[in-house]
Structure 1
Amino acid sequence: MAAMVSAYLFVFLSLFGMVASDPDLLQDICVANKAAGVKVNGFTCKDEANVTEADFFFSGLANPGVINNSVGSVVTGANVEKIPGLNTLGVSLARVNYQPGGLNPPHTHPRATEIIFVLDGELDVGFITTSNKLISKSVKKGDVFAFPKAEEQR
């Protein structure tokens, strides 16, 4: 009986794993053709003959952004707008610079998990779960903190 239950559990988990996974991409790359003006699931693809290393490169995170707003922070994104080769890959990166006492206003990421790495200083971070529980921590230089997909960040 135990062997039968184990077999059923194995089959169930195997089927669930196949259904719950993301499908593989249909192509290796789909560099954004931002000039096309058409967006379906990202931008349309640039002709592969015109793809270069520049489509996968961005040097804009090396220097701190200029903070000139009332919240005391600035976000420098490294997304498909800056790196066209990220189109359809489901990944981006950002640098956030804060003034002392600055904040990143509460927001959500409905389709992505966010991970932060503290390069310098200290930051109070957290999120609220769907059951209204606050998960928070003070993170310091060298620390990493993960925000689960779709949680509201504070």
Structure 2
Amino acid sequence: MSLNTSIWLVIFLHIYSVFASDSDSVQDFCIPRSEFLSIFVSCKNSSLVTVEDFVFSGIKSPGEFSKAGFASIPVSVSVFPGLNTLGMSFVRADFEPGSINVPHYHPRATETAFVVEGKIYSGFVDSRNRVFAKVIEKGEVMVFPKGLVHFQMNIGDSRATILGSFNSQNPGLLKIPSAVFGSEIEEEVLIKAFGLNSKELAKLKKKFLPIS
């Protein structure tokens, strides 16, 4: 390998590592200016920053429950400016008995799930289609590796609550049922992939298509 090739390889690997995860901050914090709407974040003058910028009270109570009995409150920079540039975010999830957090994944983050209350059947699927799942209870934590499909179900007799944290301020979220049946994938692809007939597919698409 020539010297020039080696140099370019090092540069490429460096660029890849930079874009593969949240970048490190070069200052103590960066509270975004609310009036600065751009892909380029402008930090509030540090003399104007107060302790209130680093406190969030929005997860004291559950969010709005769906008809299926699941509620979640994602907490990102958009609602908690103090998280900006810190490479993290989190979510509160509440489950009525028997309700589920459907199989989903986060393309840009590993998640840890801490059980605040209840008994949750929780797990993920690896790239060899092996399922790693068990019941976790109050005080226990489970980790879901970055990009792997995972799920949760309340198997207890009372409401359960989880606090999830992510090692990215923008982890992303793809819910498998909605991504497959609620998107504009050609129907023939879905029929062949899942062995469905047109009527069965129409029923699923009706259930998962976003409400306009």
TM-score class, shorter-chain normalisation, is: 0.7 to 0.9
**What is the aligned partner in structure 2 of residue 76 from structure 1?**
73
- Mapped to 1, the partners of 2:116 and 2:92 lie a distance apart of 10
CA distance in 2, matches of 1:127, 1:33: 38
CA shift, 1:108, in A, is: 1.4
The aligned residue for residue 16 of structure 1 is: none
Determine the structure 1 residue equivalent to 2:136: 139
Contact 1:71–1:104 (CA under 8 A) maintained in structure 2: no
Tell me which residue corresponds to 1:13: none
Q: Which residue does the alignment assign to 1:9?
A: none
Q: RMSD value over aligned CA atoms?
A: 2.2
SS at match of 1:74: strand
Q: Counterpart of 1:30 in structure 2: which amino acid?
A: C
Select the residue among 112, 123, 143 that pairs with 1:126. Answer: 123
Question: Offset of 1:72 from its aligned partner?
Answer: 1.5
Structure 1: stretches of 5+ with no match in the other structure: 1-18
Partner of 1:86: 83
* TM-score (normalised: structure 2): 0.57
Q: Distance in 1 between matches of 2:24 and 2:95?
A: 37
Q: Where does structure 2 lack aligned partners over 5 or more consecutive residues?
A: 1-13, 152-212
Structure 2 residue 52 is matched with structure 1 residue 58: no
CA separation in 2, counterparts of 1:75 and 1:64?
7
**Which protein has greater RCO, CA pairs closer than 8 Å, 6+ apart?**
2
Q: Under a length normalisation based on structure 1, what TM-score does the superposition of the two structures give?
A: 0.76
Provide the residue aligned with 2:44 in structure 1. Answer: 46
The total of aligned residue pairs comes to 134
Give 1:152's match in structure 2, choosing from 129, 144, 149: 149
Q: Deviations over 1:10-31 (max 9, x none)?
A: xxxxxxxxx7697642111111
